Structure 1
């Protein structure tokens, strides 16, 4: 160990002095290492803070009590995890048990006092209608309830006629002294005496959802299905939890959650259910490898230029008897110093940034975060990751520095080694392997995404090894280019040590962005192509799931809140008697429907079609209305399937649970007109005449209200609340066609932004490092008559070469996994007999244009505008 420290002491001292001497380059390397470390640190800390662990959630789940015991009306002996919220309980035993009483539970807990608690979701009656709310009933003044709510104004309830509400309900108009109506189902809490609001209090679990709390009986919650108790006594141990499990009780124990029993004492089946997702580990490994590769490529040019600046010192070292290993050690020591500094700076800045972003992120969550959580072991691994990336980035320059031509360097000439002829061959093999893995993954019926993702690694590595060959080809064809571009291309080819990592970093960034971009765009294309409209765009459908519904009152609520719209009452056949109606079609009619958004699969009309019915041409719609007016029912067939008009058999059936088969209640044969649908369908299967419904022995009833005339988003929300005020089970849906998911759009913007930042950063870094390294060459150009703006032109051209070649290579390589992943991602075997669909391929051309053309040009303009145009003249010998 002492020999190792002795061998590294001098290189580390030289590295520290070199960093102090070349501060700009050192700060650049530190920034390259610190930025990814900062990003990972920030994300890790925020994720850990947002994720509320079992011990962190104890107070918000059970207040100051020792345990929360839950029992159902009928249950079985069960097995649970130490934390019942992790995994699912396993019921063991065929004997149905009666729920244990409070006395039985208390006796198993050494006579502990039990405080009953009730939770549910209900409806708060507002001036405009109803809104959903979380409800809690417990004696909030009891010390064991401390931690369930946080009082912000007023006082806690003292009787069952008082409650507290949170700010979300205050925003709906509730104030201290107001009476509050709360409903579970269709019953108003408290009967004639509605509770009075005596204060505002926030739930310690829910942040912005409406919340109301009061003593038992204040909100009319019942415990017929489940009873919960807070345990006030000594710690509830794991053996006590197991004894309660034998009675069918589920127990969340503070002592057990904070100090779980060893795995040998836990239930094996439950432990297996709550294990780590094994499929996540390969994905994390893939992400880690790709990020590490990206950081190595970004930092590589800086270490290459640093090694170039040290080449005379290293040559003198070798000439004085130094070994190649000592030369490598000097370059690697710079990585240790700068990488360690960057890792520490990145972790510290990441902690500060996470603290600043915590309240911003909290604003997007409906539940409260846990305390600010710093996972020190994770951050130690992240810092080690940063140090490792710096070490790997310096590995190639270190090896090249140990192999330089000492005589050439001491004579003042460049000591670059010739390009390897094996690298392009190996690169082609790796690229072919990546293409093969992508093709294999695309052909798999399931699980091919992982093969495609891992196939991207050899493809990217192969691309990196092919970059020198690409630079050589471009340099050979540069003879007819303008001076600045010709000079930049040939200089990039001549100094491959610093150019290849820069081009490869840009290419790797673009490859990842292109692959993910094609996958996201294709996924959205599939969603758009397979989207099934319920009705025509702009038409709203009002439905009520509890029958009989107050349709007149619902119609009045719509017309009151959205004046000017037209409301059509739609009739159909329901299953209120336990039966259902089906229409038998001729063989090959090809009708497919996933259900009816209009309230019934079989509608009833004496002429007019439902407004907004999709899938029918104008001519067929006129035929349908004519048929209904003439007393013929309308039966729909599959897209493009024409069936001659004739008769249709309509069957009313019910399901016999004893025999497991359908039982026919009525069967009639009716004159029918068959009409094909042009699109996939979510509407009714048939429209019967009132006479046909009467032959079945059915009385048509209202199944929905169809709203036309245009409802905007604000009106839809207002109407929704008003409908809830009439009937809690009522709701409105307005068809607006396919709406791109905001998450997908945000992901594409993030990808483009991240790719742009990495491209700009990598290209600018490589360009300015190259200009620093090429100062003698540029000074010579000035000496032989080049104008001052030539340096600006060369600088811009170098940035264009690095960014242009890298982005083109990256787009080509990234399109391989991007296109391949569309097969497993967007292909489906079909449903309902409709046959397979996909794959759907959508290339985001605008994003590709921005990456391949716009960003390299923008980078070149930035570099050209910021580069110095005059340099002091120096002499050169090579």
Structure 2
């Protein structure tokens, strides 16, 4: 036992470069993992997060969801769960919730909004949510009964819910901010919490007028604006509003218990109870946890495949270090075997070295994790101070370290020890298989023999490709496969197995490829450096193959990732709305109100931006609140009449949509293809797949549902074809977003009227009852969610009611438009001050994109890993080259030959691994997207990442080979010594 540790320590010190590289390979990921876990563990627990949802001094907070009647919300005891919203349902009222609470408690409804808009004759302002009592309360809240007496002395008129105009009480800060006086009329508006991707639109065209009844002193010199209104005002404002959450606070002396929570869950509400969070109910009384078999199986397969690939990658990167160690100590190990050493003793010598390197890597990784973890905790503290606007942040690493989870350090050391031991297992096993005579004499008799198991690679590849092929064929035929979660679990498992089999097949094929290259180049006119590189890859395959395998897997991951990225970019380009071109900005209110209110916000925003940006033009965009679609309106002017269906239930609601060109249509159940949508010159083709168009929501801005554009607004967009489309709109025509509704030969676009009906099977079907051609233009995916954009004249003819200002398109000077960046816009936007709370903007994706390093960080990381893989290969093989270089130098090889030799080794490894990895990466990405298309009927155009492949083919190899050339100089005379 002592001999094994002594030899391990001796070898580690003697080959210091190899030891350092292997130690760093273990230490770096352990450092990152330790720091990440430390930061996660320092994050607040779910109970702590839930308690923050309960206002100070309150017993509970209740979130009432717009939920169907008769369905119980099965919440966890702490209340943290996914939120559901049915836009056609009403949230539970206070009358539904109150009977389930203790009679000694009070139920208060409050307004939850990111901001409140306030306006009087003298000023318009945005009042942001601040701490109130309780602290979760927003700036504007109901006036509690127990607080009314305290404020009564300051009230000029007592608040009364029966007054025609409700009253509000302001603190001095709010009065100063609004220039408000007692008796003023105050318009307040804000959007309650609404879970539909944004809070905009809940109170369109609605604001509420209050009379300032009193002004009370501020609590202190730092008090922020606060407003109180009469009790019941929130309830009155929410009456009849669907799809909006109700927010309630329970005050009083009695806790809200778990049985009470279960009763409140019956009306679709989630309860955050202080008592229940601190004293959880027994497991037997909680709701049973429902397991989603589909999600679970998908997660398990993804985890298994990820662990398998990452594990193989780590094994391939670490194993060469111990393989070289075994080769360099082969002579000593052979002599120990001749002297009577057992195979177990020989294996221990190698595994002890792996354990030693792993231990060093674990200790180094633990120290690195401690430093990174404490730094991460400091950043979390700074972020908290910054978010809360505190200014007394101090640099105190000792206090940050107090939140570090110290048991992670011994776990990191043990993880490194285990990683090193596992990585040395294969080289330790190979030691026993060495031929003692060949090892002692240095003569390798079977250096060029064919590797064993020559039928294994094609069998593994055939099995992997067969698994994917059968999966794609089956899902292509089984249209209703989504109905079976058990079948989905099988599909996910099959895809994971197929991926792993393909990877193993390629890895097992590498020895055969290198043997083929060695045999083909032996005795040929290929340069000596390349022949020796092929020979070295064959003789020392245990050292070369793991590195080549790691390189192959990194290239495969790189190509697969980049293929996914460019395909998703193409998909977004195919389906997302197109509205404005580079050098344009669309500004609009987050919460649309009445026309003059919108106009004041938009104009004020534009005037401020004009001082910061070179805005040369602007144009208004309009949105109609309601569209009264009817066949009679469409038929005006001689439409093509479509026979109305009979024998079915017809719904009274009609709606406009894009029509088909005459003589073309898709049968029921089929959709137009992406090609038919993008190119109006193509004949109509249909598919069962679904082409989704229009994202609808971009950040804080929701695009108009019924847009109306003038010719000037169309020109301001700057999109391709905008000038031609603007002429059509000036003439009272329409712009369509899909090619199948437009005839470029005649310049006509088709619009239809549809009605919904139930067919014989009970399914809801859409029927076209009228179709008409208008003078039109085609702009692909222009506000694609709506399908077409009419001119103001045509909108009035078609029954567009209440067209109001939506926003403005700002056009920048052409000299800066193309180079305009997101940072420039954000700097100008910061000048808006409080208007930032209610105004939003939309820019093209070129200006809205994150920094280049963020977009390409994954690419850079994978390229860095590829470079490290090749570099480790060189560093580990240099000691093995010494004996060969001494021999070559003795027979007259020039000094620069070492560089050519090392470069040829790396070039050969890159050539084989890159080609195989690139082909496999693209093939797996293509298969994955195909499976996704078969499963959800979506449309994805898989794009070859030519730019990334070019980087793999030219700059990356040139950079790596150049660095290898520069660092591969062997100084003569060589110090010749035995391998061990």
- In which range does the TM-score fall when normalised by the shorter chain? 0.7 to 0.9
Question: Is this contact kept in 2: 1:796–1:864, CA < 8 A?
Answer: yes
Please state whether the residue corresponding to 1:37 is helix, strand or coil. helix
Deviation at 1:772, TM superposition (A): 0.7
**Cα offset for 1:139?**
4.8
Deviates more, 1:235-244 or 1:748-757: 235-244
Give the corresponding residue for 2:543: 498
Counterpart among 826, 842, 846 of residue 947 in structure 2: 846
Q: 1:45 aligns with which of 38, 42, 57?
A: 38
RMSD: 5.6
Distance 1:693 1:79, change over 3 A: closer
TM-score (norm 2): 0.67
How much does 1:29 deviate? 1.8
Which of 114, 117, 125 lines up with 1:121 in the alignment? 114
SS of 1:433's partner is helix
- What is the correspondence of 1:599-678 to structure 2 with a 5 Å cutoff? 601=706, 610-611=714-715, 622=727, 625=730, 628=732, 638-641=740-743, 673-675=774-776, 677=778
Is the contact between residue 34 and residue 369 of structure 2 (CA under 8 Å) also seen in structure 1? yes
In the alignment, does 2:543 pair up with 1:519?
Answer: no
Alpha-carbon distance in structure 2 between the residues aligned to 1:531 and 1:96: 36
Change (3 A) 1:264 1:272: farther
Contact 1:532 1:680 in 2 (8 A): yes
User: TM-score, normalization: structure 1?
Assistant: 0.74
1:154-553 counterparts in 2 under 5 A? 161-162=170-171, 183-184=189-190, 186-187=207-208, 191=212, 222=234, 226=246, 228-229=248-249, 238=258, 241-242=261-262, 250-254=270-274, 256-258=276-278, 260-268=280-288, 277-360=296-379, 386-413=416-443, 421-440=451-470, 444=475, 452=495, 454-478=497-521, 479-534=524-579, 545-550=592-597, 553=600
Are 2:617 and 2:810, in contact at CA under 8 Å, matched by a contact in 1?
A: yes
Task: Please list every run of 5 or more consecutive structure 2 residues that lacks an aligned counterpart in the other structure.
Answer: 138-152, 155-168, 180-185, 192-206, 239-245, 389-398, 477-481, 483-487, 643-659, 666-676, 678-692, 697-701, 758-762, 814-819
2:871 is aligned to 764
Residues 1:221 and 1:847: Cα distance change in structure 2 (over 3 Å): farther
**Aligned partners of 1:41 and 1:351 also within 8 Å:** yes
Call closer, same or farther: CA 1:870–1:137 in 2, change over 3 Å: same
CA distance in 2 between counterparts of 1:306 and 1:604 reads 74
Partners of 2:420 and 2:709 lie apart in 1 by 74
Superposed CA deviations along residues 260-292 of structure 1, whole A, max 9, x for unmatched, are 434322112x66589985532321222222111
Q: CA deviation at 1:409?
A: 2.3
Counterparts of 1:796 and 1:691 in 2: how far apart (Å)?
A: 71
C-alpha contact 2:298 2:492 (8 A) present in aligned 1: no
Give the one of 583, 586, 593 matched to 2:634: 583
1:60 equivalent in alignment to 2:167: no
Which stretch of the first structure deviates more once superposed, 809-818 or 512-521? 809-818
Question: Could you tell me which residue of structure 2 aligns to residue 31 of structure 1?
Answer: 24
- Distance between the aligned counterparts of 2:834 and 2:233, measured in 1? 20
> What is the CA-CA distance between 1:414 and the residue it aligns to?
5.2
Shift of 1:32: 1.6
- Following superposition, the deviation at residue 770 of structure 1 comes to 1.1
> Which residue number corresponds to residue 856 of structure 1?
957
CA distance in 2: counterparts of 1:163 and 1:47, whole angstroms: 43
Question: CA 1:320 to 1:128, structure 2 compared with 1: closer, same or farther past 3 Å?
Answer: farther
Report the secondary structure of 2:369's partner residue: helix
What is the alpha-carbon distance in structure 1 between the residues aligned to residue 883 and residue 749 of structure 2? Answer: 93
Q: 1:90 & 1:603 partners in 2: Cα distance? A: 29
Structure 1 residue 515 displacement after superposition: 1.1
Structure 1 residues 481-521: Cα deviation after superposition (integer angstroms, max 9, x where no partner)? 33333333322322212111111111111111111111111
Distance 1:849 1:661 in 2: 50
Q: Displacement of 1:522 after TM fit?
A: 1.3
By how many angstroms is 1:828 displaced? 9.6
Give the drift of 1:233: 6.2
Shift of 1:817: 0.8
How many residues of Structure 1 are paired with residues of Structure 2 in the alignment? 804
1:520-572 deviation per Cα after TM superposition (whole angstroms, max 9, x unaligned) = 11111221233332356656666674345556646643663455644555678
3-state SS, counterpart of residue 424 of structure 2:
helix
User: Is there any run of 5+ residues in structure 1 with no aligned partner, and where?
Assistant: 1-7, 143-157, 166-171, 175-179, 202-210, 831-835
**Distance in 1 of aligned mates of 2:15 and 2:749:** 91
Query: What is the CA distance between 1:421 and its match in structure 2?
Result: 3.8
Q: Secondary structure at the match of 1:28?
A: helix
- The Cα of 1:306 is off from its aligned counterpart by 0.9
What is the rounded CA distance, in whole Å, between the counterparts of 2:371 and 2:962 in structure 1? Answer: 34
Corresponding residue SS for 1:788: coil
The answer for the alignment partner of 2:146 in structure 1 is: none
The verdict on how the C-alpha distance between 1:450 and 1:792 changes in structure 2, with shifts beyond 3 A counting, is same
**Structure 2 vs 1, CA of residues 710 and 314 (structure 1 numbering), >3 Å: closer, same or farther?**
same
Change (3 A) 1:194 1:504: farther
- 8 Å Cα contact 1:408-1:415 kept in structure 2: yes
Q: Is the 8 A contact 2:100 2:263 kept in 1?
A: no
Deviations 1:808-853 (A, max 9, x none): 33223222213323434578988xxxxx74x423222332233344
Per the alignment, residue 777 of structure 1 pairs with 884
CA distance in 2, matches of 1:196, 1:578: 55
Partner deviation per Cα, 1:1-47 (whole Å, 9 max, x = no partner)? xxxxxxx6654454345434544332322212222222333333344
Helix, strand or coil for the counterpart of 1:436? helix
CA 86–319 in structure 1, closer or farther in 2 if over 3 Å, else same: same
User: Cα gap change, 1:97/1:750 in structure 2, threshold over 3 Å: closer, same or farther?
Assistant: closer
User: In 1, are the aligned partners of 2:471 and 2:495 still within 8 Å (CA)?
Assistant: yes
- Measure, in 1, the Cα distance between the counterparts of 2:282 and 2:936: 46
Between the aligned partners of 1:705 and 1:690, the Cα distance in structure 2 is 19
Q: Secondary structure at the match of 2:115?
A: strand
- CA deviations over 1:647-671 (Å, ceiling 9, x no partner): 999989999xxxx999xxxx9999x
CA distance in 2, matches of 1:687, 1:420: 73
Moved more, 283-292 or 11-20: 11-20
Equivalent pair of 2:577/2:694 in contact (CA under 8 Å): no
